[in-house]
Structure 1
Amino acid sequence: MKIEEIELKHISIPLKKPFKTALRTVETAENTVVLIHTDDGQTGYGEAPPTKVITGDTNESTIAAIRSSIRPALLGKDIANLEEIQDALQTATDRDFSAKAAVDMAVYDLASKRLGVPLYQYLGGYGNQVETDLTISINEPEEMEADAVAAAEQGFSALKLKVGIDSEKDVRRVACIRRAVGDKMKIRLDANQGWEVDEAIRTITRLEDLGLDIELVEQPVKARDFEGLKRVKDNVNTVIMADESLFSPRDALDLLQMQAADLLNIKLMKCGGIYNALKIAAIAETYGVECMLGSMVESKISLTAAAHLAAAKKIITRVDLDAAILLAEDPVMGGFEKEIPWFTLTEAPGLGITGVRGLTEIE
């Protein structure tokens, strides 16, 4: 099973409502889809969203990296030689994390298809089901409260509230939502780097003093401020999770050696795909630190890859793959089966994806 061609397509999927964070607003998923074709007629699927404010990647940069650097490095390689492929992929370009991730997941799709097993079994096989939280976009407290109540009525047991623009209003947002959804709902906060260090400590401490029972706070300070992240962690009782601070296995090692975070949020688009995500998970497991498997605004193509990884590894104990629910349409045939808030992986080989409707050509 040798790589014969790497084909690129575009997909456009509207969201049910705008996705708002401290960093950006997204109304439509405009993503690049990777199709790796092999000489025996198999196709592997991958996907990359543009996340310039987080990874620096755009659709244009992803397309350019795959066409100019990654495709020439991988053509003709045998899927059986996964380590050789990954060495070529990960060294083909210095950054371009989303491009690497999209190609990487298509390669893993093919590698598990080659053996006739679902990807979660190929990666470890710990389980075949994951439970996602639901993200509540940052808006006025009343709108966020209404969205949270609607999520509770759908059956979600965990919500991730976007905060980080106005810390005083953030406290009101959380208080409104806690009052509306009751004590049993898990509430996670994601500041997306929106607070300064002292502001983060002050805000989290106030949430604690109000008894609002926050499960965790994700990335309260700037991505590369590891010392600031550690200072927040050391001065609050709430669990602190690194997200934008964590791109590479080296970042994971540095964060955990410094004891700068209680949890790690792995995202395929930040680390360059499943290959590096497995390394991060192994480092975290060595330190006894649990992980979340997160996502960007992605379709069921890459979300299925992430779900397989999350199900396969015991150390991944939390899942934030709710873009599958935030999108207004699902053009992907196959992949995981959805019953809110659970995603169940089928026994189909690889990702179990059989096709994607609405793909368009890229010039």
Structure 2
Amino acid sequence: MTIFHAQSLFTGEEFLNDRYFSVDNGVFTLTEASTDAVKLDGLVVPGFIDVQVNGGGGAFFNAEQTPQCLHNIAKAHGRFGSTAIMPTLITDKVEVMAQAADATAEAIAQAVPGVLGIHFEGPHLSLPKKGTHSEQFIRPISEQEFAIYARQDLGIKMVTLAPENVRAEDIARLVECGVKVSIGHTNADFATTNKALAAGADGFTHLFNAMSAFTSREPGVVGSALWDDNSWCGLIVDGHHVHPSSAKLAIRTKQRGKVMLVTDAMPPVGTDDMEFDFFDGRKVIRTGDRLNSTTGELAGSVLDMASAVRNTVNTLDVSLAESLRMASLYPAQYLGLNKKGRLVNGFDADFVVLDEHQYVKATYIAGNAV
């Protein structure tokens, strides 16, 4: 057991000063003062949880489907406060999907710190809203993919799909397989999107981006996402994917607790790399904090979760407490992680020490510095 002394502590609900807590077998408990405590200077907050991470630290899941790749990605994001991530494989061949599933199963079996499961973003997407995804691999759902999605050794499973191209019955089947179904890269209308929600979909992948817009006569996917109280929306707050006023409107409109920060991070996060190889002979080029494919589209981001929190506070005028919940508690609730996202007795001791400007000083998973 280790005892820590937090100068300040955010439980997920309130800010406390000068508090001691113990970590025993990875479990957090508030405790009495101790002379042997490890001193944590700064604000201790619940670890960030990111449901959409394509890469980091130079590693790219689509380029290398190994447990070591997942370890490298998780380690890179740990530097920025992410204590749990959903490694994300974007649209690719079914063989690559199977290899990614094998790598995830091995990582889960090895208890690689920070790896929760796998997010398949595609391949059952809409061509008009494919974004930077490779058209040659976009396809209907088949038994080959269902065999992967039905695996029970992958931790948390998540699939982003376009409901106009996947039947409601197949969405229900995915949910029965234990898959979190998220709606994204879709040109569906309001009615089709609502049918997908009724079939069990409960998420929207990077709200506003690569989805049919809200209009006066057709609310589209955006309208359905904002209207539905039982689903969660991921939001990329990097200043490029979503206009600040659109993001503010979504946070104001959507049921509280249902907007979560995501990064859609790519390999350059945590590096000085300015480009990396992509599909179809393309490259992704970094310009400042923006990534574009050589064919022009935004191609993920170089955003990390600590930056997403800072941006939410500084550009969206959201309180620090709510911004932190958007990075920890709300994604934990979306993923069904009922022991993460808060620092209260009996919860997982995944925490981050922030300085006064919300930059990361230290990250701990299960009480161990990473």
TM-score range with shorter-chain normalisation?
0.3 to 0.5
**TM-score by structure 2 length?**
0.39
**TM-score by structure 1 length?**
0.40
